[in-house]
Amino acid sequence: MRTQTCTSSAFSHLHWKDTSAMSSLTTSIPATEPGAGSSGSAPYPFDYEGWKRISDSGAFRILADSALSSSHRIRDTAARMRELGYAGEDPGLLFAVATHLASTITSILRFGSPELKSALVPDLLSGHFVGAHAITETGAGSDVSSMQATATVDEASGKVRVNGRKVFITNAPIASHVVVYARTYRGGNDEGISAYVIDTTCPGVAVTANHITASLPHSPIGELELSDVTIPQSWRLGAEGAGLQVLDFVMKREIIYAFSADLGRAQKRIEDSVAFANSRRQFNSLLAEFQSVSFAIADMYVRHFAGTAMINEILSKIENNQDITKEVAAAKILISDANLQTAIEATHLRGAKGVQADSTSVQDVLDALAGPIYSGTNRIQKTRIAAMLGLLTDG
Ligand SMILES: Cc1cc2nc3c(=O)[nH]c(=O)nc-3n(C[C@H](O)[C@H](O)[C@H](O)COP(=O)(O)OP(=O)(O)OC[C@H]3O[C@@H](n4cnc5c(N)ncnc54)[C@H](O)[C@@H]3O)c2cc1C
């Protein structure tokens, strides 16, 4: 059983024994496949084989490994993401993975009811269910509190009716479950923003895979239209009105996982740059002999080392139950900016080859462009740091 209210069967395309859905490395699925209410016609590329490879490696299960303390689960998951980034897994796929880990597995394990945990967690850990979270709306990007999506509690039935439209939702086209953030109304009163788990096969859920972004093109992203979607109250995460606390907890983990993957990728980029500089000759010299080139690669290392040290410091703080708010914000800014700078530098290092149409360097730059935007833009992260430092940001 997938939910109390929506009884459709699990997605056949996420059952690994269904080899017809796994016939090629990048399987194109129609945008209509994920949920009963889905719409749209463009084929959407998603690397199901990569998803299966990562699922089968046990990467999702670490977060529920009873042999590990909660802080070590986070540490080991971050380390796995870094390995995957280093191994050259597609950054879009890895962002889908980071979103899955943070949006549903983390939030349900931390804030979900026992019923919700037993209904969803096993299949989320195996990768058969795919998670997403829906915060952003057309008029509410950075300004999350201005969201218009509503969750109306019906006291008599104990059910919640969710309405709204969410945009730029990673994994939406392939998600089985989305954590939707909406403003709760009870008896006509605004109770604040809450987080609800919604099964994408529920009546009233429509998914459109219409945002194929230049950055992370293999990360499935789409819109979610919710029309009187009815769910039990027990599918709320955390207390009513505590949605922003849930979001804060989850986003910190998303940043740790997503940007650990970027660190792995950056490490590989440095090694590739060293190899290129040590082999390409101009002016009868190796590029490595030109100090402006070797210093540029040394700078890549400096940024990478700083980002790695920041993540390690954050992981230590989690282990010691210390607040990580400004540290996560600072790490997100540094790693995403560094990722973009080093991707550009690595492209320039290759000269004309770097910008050939089929060059992976160009896509590397495009992928890195989104880092300063998602998981809370870097400017918003700076406003958080400023507030944490005690600056009187509100006058
Ligand atoms: C690849 C990708 C994946 C995403 N995945 C998801 C997802 O899974 N779920 C989801 O809900 N959303 C997702 N998003 C949306 C993302 O969270 C938003 O894009 C982000 O919050 C910014 O909102 P916006 O795009 O509306 O920009 P805006 O909020 O309009 O901001 C525009 C610019 O103004 C700046 N700005 C805004 N307010 C301030 C301020 N107070 N002070 C200083 N500067 C400010 C911003 O930093 C930015 O530079 C994703 C976005 C991308 C690019």
CATH for 353: 1.20.140.10
Is residue 157 assigned to a domain? no
Q: Does 58 or 32 have the greater pLDDT score?
A: 58
Write down the pLDDT at residue 223: 96
Percent of the chain topping pLDDT 90: 84
Write down the pLDDT at residue 189: 97
Percent of the chain topping pLDDT 70: 88
Distance 187 CA to ligand 1 centre (A): 32
| 387 within ligand 1 shell (Cβ under 6 A) | no
Write down the pLDDT at residue 5: 52
Smallest CA-to-CA distance from 120 within 4, 224, 232 is with 4
The per-residue pLDDT for range 184-194, each reduced to its tens digit, is 999 999 999 99
The per-residue pLDDT for range 261-300, each reduced to its tens digit, is 999 999 999 999 999 999 999 999 999 999 999 999 999 9
Lowest mean pLDDT among 14-28, 64-78, 250-264, 363-377: 14-28
Write down the pLDDT at residue 26: 32
Supply the residues annotated as catalytic: 254
The per-residue pLDDT for range 2-32, each reduced to its tens digit, is 444 564 344 433 433 233 333 322 333 333 3
The per-residue pLDDT for range 316-331, each reduced to its tens digit, is 999 999 999 999 999 9
Is residue 281 assigned to a domain? yes
- Checking if the pLDDT of 40 tops 90, the result is no
Write the burial class of residue 143 (CB in 10 Å: 0-12 exposed, 13-18 middle, 19+ buried).
exposed
The phi, psi pair for 372, rounded to 5°, reads -70, -5
Average pLDDT, integer, range 96-122? 97
Write down the pLDDT at residue 336: 98
Average pLDDT, integer, range 97-103? 98
Average pLDDT, integer, range 110-132? 97
Write down the pLDDT at residue 1: 38
Residue 211 — pLDDT band, cuts 50, 70, 90?
Answer: low
Lowest mean pLDDT among 14-23, 84-93, 172-181, 280-289: 14-23
Supply the residue whose CA is at minimum distance from atom 14 of ligand 1: 168
What span, in angstroms and rounded, lies between the C-alpha atoms of 359 and 354? 6
Write the burial class of residue 217 (CB in 10 Å: 0-12 exposed, 13-18 middle, 19+ buried).
middle
Tell me which residue range forms the domain holding 353.
245-388
Number of domains in the chain: 1
Write the burial class of residue 162 (CB in 10 Å: 0-12 exposed, 13-18 middle, 19+ buried).
buried
Is residue 222 assigned to a domain? no
Distance 318 CA to ligand 1 centre (A): 26
Write down the pLDDT at residue 12: 38
Write down the pLDDT at residue 19: 30
Distance 337 CA to ligand 1 centre (A): 16
Q: Which atom of ligand 1 is nearest to the CA of 370?
A: 53
Write down the pLDDT at residue 27: 34
Beta-ladder partners of 195: 181, 237
Supply the mean pLDDT for the chain.
Answer: 90
- Checking if the pLDDT of 36 tops 90, the result is no
Write down the pLDDT at residue 11: 43
Pocket test for ligand 1, best of 363, 377, 379 (most atoms within 8 A of CB): 377
Write down the pLDDT at residue 209: 78
Residue 213 — pLDDT band, cuts 50, 70, 90?
Answer: confident
